[in-house]
Structure 1
């Protein structure tokens, strides 16, 4: 079909160019807005439309009608931001600071052989969940700006917040969202009982070392049991976040719906955040690229419907991501525009020549005039072009 004939409601399943050369993270795009059509018209001449697949999409129902049917999870809540991002940002920063200090104490206690404090978990997670429920964009903007010196602490806090945001997106009740956040915070606590030298090792691990790393699941369950935590969602997350849809995961080789919903959710989040973070043995990749690579594993490593929901939850370019604009400028994504997912609100951080600005310039890519079109060209990884967004925002 010629792109001039595209209409809202069509499903484009193939392009006249590779998907990786477009801003769309999925190999297939539902035309929900004029923005999607305009983007395809700019990039392509001919596309292929699936005539049997019209768009009738409710982001809260695509997963829940099937994968959650008959389960104890009820996806009936509808959340909306209750405060502007600018108002929530200071509270989000305070919640992150509090969580960071408490997680530091938790890891130090466990490394010293002391028991996990349930009170500490509550104190870290409750303010974080409250902030995400008020405005997920504010929290992830601040989280994306922070300097992350310790991967383990950062990973725990970010997975906790991502779990809360994903639960909010799927419409779970607040206590289930809290359980997801607590599980995200604790799912790797078993690593505190492993040698630090092994966790930081940069070479190829031996089979014995791989088995030692995998034992963190067993250690984590033991730590939680000693603390008298009996929340089934938290236990499921610790036990199954390394299981995989095709049965290739560990420790039990569970597959498909045998993996609890919470384990499927946090296993996906665990992988996404690890890929977009700096590790001892490799550099980070952009959040946009991480989502694309995860999508390539749909139906094998991860449940396809769950991946699609995470894509909708986070956006094409997740809040807090660094991006390069068609003007050459570097920007950070400040907030999603749900109607036009390729045109979020951004803050411009550099000149077109990649020279850092002395102050950021907010721009809503959806609200630009008809004669002024600025696109996101690609996502950037943390540290690209040495642009320090925190210097401008967190002073």
Structure 2
């Protein structure tokens, strides 16, 4: 088989893939013998009828075949059966996701090391401001939401320059699960997603502001409702957090302001199972759909105390598994492209059993990011860790290709996140003394 050719089961095929070979003779099918692009649903259905597997040329395909197959292979099987839906609901669910037109093409204008240093001070200040705001809401029933707007502009400025910096800072604080910390991290994921979609800067500010303020209403609910709902009545009471949040935001934003518009619908779901209005598909405002996926992802990797956190790979696989149901398919795939399979700051195990932390993700090589190895293949902590760019096809000490074999929880090494951060970006200036990858690891 050619190096760029991948065997793919017909159920995993998608529009944009290039079919170079079938598992049956071409003459027994209606397809052109020289190979072809899959361009419409009818061709997918025909391939399912004639073949069990086909061979896709990854180089010629117009979609990222490697990432899609990775997600398909790691996504757990869906449990139970989808609810019976009427024809109108199915039609609304299956509408192609409407996107806002791309307004901007953002490029990285500042290196990771420099932006992390600049963003670190800002990030700490933001956490302090949000902590104070949420504490005032809980204790006094009052919140000055103008702070959230100022914070949003700062965060947008950093994300536009280099989205990896705030992503890194989010990951090193991932075990903190208070409302204000979850709000800040959700805002980072939302901004990275919106940046990837090329939305206007004002849209980025509004998405960020909405996500920073989204849990305000939860401050007014009994704490136990945040952790567990045992009855339908408890679930309905929990859902009132939307109304409570809007009651506060409407004090400073006009009713028709985009922030309120987002907050009124970010908990809606593509199949109509969300709340408060059971909206379906494109009936959910676009920015609310962007915001909803981002907040949902944060809840998967940093849930409320008492729930098990997923690794980034598990969370992305889960999102991929519910695409077309909870969230529109095209938006889920765009979110995965924006965040990556292994987000910046993720802890991973390499194929030679070394443990590394993800530093940066090249847009065209999401499965092969740049990493810093902190524990070698003998489980020995490295004083001067090695930088490895997996996109350049490195090999291990045995000459075997090196790749990421597993995403790990943050507790997988006794080097804590703050220590890793200090060594990489602190006064120790770890990055300037790192041993770059040369031959083998």
TM-score, length-scaled by structure 2: 0.73
**Structure 1 residue 172: Cα displacement:** 0.8
2:196 is the alignment partner of 1:173: no
Cα deviation code 1:70-99 (max 9, x no counterpart): xxx431311100011111111121221121
Q: Which residue of structure 1 lines up, in the alignment, with residue 62 of structure 2?
A: 56
**Structure 1 residue 198: Cα displacement:** 2.9
User: 272, 275, 287: which one pairs with 1:247?
Assistant: 272
User: 389, 401, 404: which one pairs with 1:376?
Assistant: 404
2:282 is the alignment partner of 1:257: yes
**Structure 1 residue 229: Cα displacement:** 5.3
**Structure 1 residue 343: Cα displacement:** 1.0
Q: Residues 198, 359 of structure 1: CA spacing in aligned structure 2 closer, same or farther, 3 A cutoff? A: farther
Q: Residues 91, 389 of structure 1: CA spacing in aligned structure 2 closer, same or farther, 3 A cutoff? A: same
User: 2, 9, 25: which one pairs with 1:14?
Assistant: 9
User: 151, 169, 173: which one pairs with 1:142?
Assistant: 169
**Structure 1 residue 146: Cα displacement:** 2.5
Q: Residues 379, 28 of structure 1: CA spacing in aligned structure 2 closer, same or farther, 3 A cutoff? A: farther
Provide the C-alpha distance between the structure 2 equivalents of 1:191 and 1:357, rounded to a whole number of angstroms.
Answer: 44
User: 316, 330, 335: which one pairs with 1:291?
Assistant: 316
Cα deviation code 1:127-177 (max 9, x no counterpart): 111111100012211221136434312210011111111111001111111
Provide the C-alpha distance between the structure 1 equivalents of 2:145 and 2:254, rounded to a whole number of angstroms.
Answer: 7
Q: Which moved more, 1:371-380 or 1:311-320?
A: 371-380
Provide the C-alpha distance between the structure 1 equivalents of 2:252 and 2:358, rounded to a whole number of angstroms.
Answer: 39
| Aligned residues: CA RMSD | 2.9
**Structure 1 residue 190: Cα displacement:** 0.8
2:231 is the alignment partner of 1:225: no
**Structure 1 residue 235: Cα displacement:** 1.3
Matches for 1:126-141 after TM superposition, within 5 Å: 126-141=153-168
**Structure 1 residue 310: Cα displacement:** 0.4
User: 160, 170, 192: which one pairs with 2:219?
Assistant: 192
Q: Which residue of structure 1 lines up, in the alignment, with residue 140 of structure 2?
A: 113
Provide the C-alpha distance between the structure 2 equivalents of 1:218 and 1:134, rounded to a whole number of angstroms.
Answer: 35
Provide the C-alpha distance between the structure 2 equivalents of 1:143 and 1:92, rounded to a whole number of angstroms.
Answer: 11
Q: Which residue of structure 1 lines up, in the alignment, with residue 102 of structure 2?
A: 75
Q: Which residue of structure 2 lines up, in the alignment, with residue 182 of structure 1?
A: 209
Cα deviation code 1:228-259 (max 9, x no counterpart): 35563311221111111011111111001000
Q: Which residue of structure 1 lines up, in the alignment, with residue 307 of structure 2?
A: 282
Matches for 1:327-366 after TM superposition, within 5 Å: 327-366=352-391
Secondary structure class of the residue paired with 2:155? helix
Question: Any gaps of 5 or more consecutive residues in structure 2?
Answer: 19-51, 65-95, 427-441
Question: Any gaps of 5 or more consecutive residues in structure 1?
Answer: 20-25, 33-45, 59-65
Q: Residues 76, 251 of structure 1: CA spacing in aligned structure 2 closer, same or farther, 3 A cutoff? A: same
Provide the C-alpha distance between the structure 2 equivalents of 1:363 and 1:102, rounded to a whole number of angstroms.
Answer: 37
Secondary structure class of the residue paired with 2:264? helix
Cα deviation code 1:3-60 (max 9, x no counterpart): 43645xxx86429xxx9xxxxxx8869789xxxxxxxxxxxxx962369xx73359xx
Contact between 2:226 and 2:304, CA under 8 Å: does it hold in 1?
A: no
**Structure 1 residue 207: Cα displacement:** 2.0
Provide the C-alpha distance between the structure 2 equivalents of 1:112 and 1:176, rounded to a whole number of angstroms.
Answer: 31
2:235 is the alignment partner of 1:210: yes
Contact between 2:347 and 2:410, CA under 8 Å: does it hold in 1?
A: yes
TM-score, length-scaled by structure 1: 0.81
Provide the C-alpha distance between the structure 2 equivalents of 1:378 and 1:27, rounded to a whole number of angstroms.
Answer: 25
Provide the aligned length of Structure 1 versus Structure 2.
356
For the pair shown, which has the larger CA radius of gyration, 1 or 2?
A: 2
**Structure 1 residue 331: Cα displacement:** 1.2
